[in-house]
Amino acid sequence: MNNDLNSFPAIATFWLIICLLLIFIKYRQIKNIFSVEAANQDLFLLIIFLISFPVYFGASFAVFYFFTGITNASTTNSISFIFAGIVYLLTWYKRKQYAGNVLVNLGQLVRKKILIFELIFFLFVVISNCYIKFSEGSKITFDLIIYILGWVFSIFFLLNIGLSRIDIREKGINFLFTIVEWQSIKEYKWIEPQGNVLYIRHQAGLPLMPILMLQIPSVKKNQVEQLLSRYLPTNSNLS
């Protein structure tokens, strides 16, 4: 327990820096694509989005320690991640049914080359960490099994995300196993010179940020624009 407590300030500082950096990047992105007013409005949503993850894992650590006495942060984080991921995937079918029929299929979210690169990176991290632990004389323990299962589930989750498809449905846009409902979309904008990159500002809900970027196939741009014009107010279009 002492080791976890001693390392907590360094871990908390690291995540704080990462969160602040992401807030700065996303704030500038919203300001450059939409407006300063839009960026200021979404700043609170960005902060809530980014602090929710360390808060979730911190609360999970406290709950596990209180009920089971487990003090290994890696173990509790892995269990929490696996639990949240399984619940999210199992409830996807119901959420997809609620969204209605597919109106336009926009293809896979991630290109295969990028997906292969990410998988190789994840496998490298898993194998190298396991090698380090065993070379230090670590035995197969509950903590190590959960740690490995956490990485295996991460790879499985990445595969599901990478192979998932973006589509427009009757009640919104299917993106990352989440339905962005029409009423939650504030505005959208097509970016030139290609003109087929669609940015959407929406009332964010986990696990999505308040700004989404969708690569729309050129042959389907007009069809997507017609649907956006049908379901969204006319003042939402800034293209």
Position 110 confidence tier, pLDDT thresholds 50, 70, 90: low
182-193 per-position pLDDT tens digit: 999 999 998 876
CB < 8 Å & 24+ apart, contacts of 7-16: 7/73, 11/73, 12/54, 15/54
Whether this model's pTM surpasses 0.85: no
114-123 per-position pLDDT tens digit: 556 666 766 7
Helix, strand, or coil here: 104? strand
Pairing relationship of beta strands 211-215 and 165-169 according to DSSP bridges: unpaired
